Amino acid sequence: MPLEPVSLPGEIRGLRIGLLVSGGIAAYKLADLASAMTQAGCAVRVAMSAAASRFIGAATFRGVTGNPVLVDLWAPSSEPEPHVQLGDWAQLLLLAPATANTIAKLAEGRADDIVSATVLAARGPLVLAPAMNDAMWAKPQVQENLARVRARGALVVEPEAGHLASGHTGAGRLASGQRLLDALAEAARGRYDLAGRAVVVSAGGTREPIDPVRFISNYSSGKMGYALAAAAAERGARVTLVTTASHPAHPGITEVGVETAAEMLEALRQAQPGADLLVMAAAVADYRPARVAAEKIRREQAAELALELERNVDILAELGREPGAERIFRVGFAAEGAELEAKALEKLERKRLDAIVANDVRRRDIAFGSDYNEAVVYLRGGEQVELARMTKRELADRLYDLLLPKLR
């Protein structure tokens, strides 16, 4: 592995990777890999056993990843329950080198150090790369322990044969950096079907100012857009959420706060290059006040007040004209009343969309402000799919299930 060039598989680009290092001489090689993963766009956080820190310093990993390193379950400076935090955060775990002792702990389900405890607290798949002396590797107790760990779903990257630190030659060398990355990609493919994809979502109703304290807006809560962003992030996508609303943050989402349609257009223009999928769930105000009063409008100014409105930009239409837009799968939303189907199909054409998700806004038990939604998805080419009433989060997942095979 030393300083060999590696190429990062697309499936793991942008994923959050927990790197667990246990105490073998090969630990030093992981600094290079952590650096390569970080430079290629992964977020990497390291936890290392006490034995590992005899081979490589935490400062090295902190330096190459830019993130704090966990060295102890009980370190006074660390957050409470550091293993739970790392286990929650990581979308993939790479345990390398995995020593005979650590493999034995994993086989038994122990959690008496930061490495073994994080494996137990993890929510994502585990890739494990053993490295040890050839005689240790050959022992039945090591192989039995490894078989137990493998049977529970860990992906094991077998060590290679060659020169060992002990001076012997045999099986036990840590697998190459490229094999470790390829195994991470395989684990990602099995679990994150949007891994390697960039998804841009818009959410909420735009706010068009009248004066410094008032605006025109609509009833959109932003919940559907947040659900779409969260579902995409959990399926491994890199997500940019351009939003007027503010709901609790979700790991893996880059949130860009905006107010007006003009600001939303600008933020989406910045976010769109390189995207695979654009989901325009925002309720954009079609009109905005033609003039924004510099000072607060006061009651005594006039008995009557007429607001002159002018047309806002059509964000989807504008984004469709940007260079490279033709390779992005574009999804619009249509909030409709009567003639839902005809109106939705007309918008699909006019806005040159690949799909449109149509909601019936006359229903109060779904749509605006609700945690539930029900929709009909119309796809370019004539296919249409009804999604019966379900939570917005479930609807987001059903939508991705539907669109995933069609992405370019």
- In the bound state with ligand CTP, the residue whose beta carbon lies nearer, of 127 and 261, is 261
Which member of 218, 312, 359, 373 is catalytic?
A: 218
Other Cβ atoms within 10 Å of 405 Cβ, number: 7
Provide the strand spans (E) within 146-246.
155-156, 160-163, 169-173, 198-203, 208-211, 214-216, 238-243
In angstroms, what is the minimal distance from the CB of 122 to ligand CTP? Answer: 37
- Under the criterion CB under 6 A, does residue 282 sit at the interface with ligand CTP? yes
Give the interface segment with ligand CTP, choosing from 150-158, 223-231, 281-289, 297-305 (CB under 6 A). Answer: 281-289
In angstroms, what is the minimal distance from the CB of 261 to ligand CTP? Answer: 6
Question: Which are the contacts of 96, defined by CB distance < 8 A and separation ≥ 6?
Answer: 19, 20, 21, 26, 30, 33, 127, 128, 129, 131, 157, 174, 180
- Under the criterion CB under 6 A, does residue 36 sit at the interface with ligand CTP? no
In angstroms, what is the minimal distance from the CB of 372 to ligand CTP? Answer: 19
- In the bound state with ligand CTP, the residue whose beta carbon lies nearer, of 1 and 284, is 284
- In the bound state with ligand CTP, the residue whose beta carbon lies nearer, of 145 and 206, is 206
In angstroms, what is the minimal distance from the CB of 228 to ligand CTP? Answer: 12
- Under the criterion CB under 6 A, does residue 278 sit at the interface with ligand CTP? no
Nearest Cα to Cα of residue 11 among 47, 44, 40: 40
Question: Which are the contacts of 116, defined by CB distance < 8 A and separation ≥ 6?
Answer: 102, 105, 106, 110
- In the bound state with ligand CTP, the residue whose beta carbon lies nearer, of 132 and 281, is 281
Distance between CA 227 and CA 215 in Å, rounded? 26
Nearest Cα to Cα of residue 297 among 309, 310, 286, 307: 307
- Under the criterion CB under 6 A, does residue 12 sit at the interface with ligand CTP? no
Give Cα 58 to chain centroid, integer Å.
Answer: 27
Number of residues engaging ligand CTP in binding (CB under 6 A): 16
Q: Is the peptide bond before 251 cis (omega within 30 degrees of 0)?
A: no
What residue has token string 């050839």? Answer: 134
- In the bound state with ligand CTP, the residue whose beta carbon lies nearer, of 84 and 379, is 379
Q: Establish whether 218 is a catalytic residue.
A: yes
Identify residues 256-275 at the interface with ligand CTP (CB under 6 A).
Answer: 261
In the shown chain, the binding pattern of residues 148 to 177 toward ligand CTP, with x for contact by CB under 6 A and - for none, equals ------------------------------
Other Cβ atoms within 10 Å of 189 Cβ, number: 15
Identify residues 319-358 at the interface with ligand CTP (CB under 6 A).
Answer: 332-335, 347, 351
- In the bound state with ligand CTP, the residue whose beta carbon lies nearer, of 100 and 275, is 275
In the shown chain, the binding pattern of residues 295 to 314 toward ligand CTP, with x for contact by CB under 6 A and - for none, equals -----------------xxx
**Angle (deg, nearest 10), helices 29-39 and 177-191:** 50
Give one DSSP letter per residue of 68-86, joined into a string.
--B--TT-TTSPSSHHHHH
List the catalytic residues. Answer: 218
Q: Give me the residues that bind ligand CTP (CB under 6 A), please.
A: 261, 280, 282, 284, 286, 312-316, 332-335, 347, 351
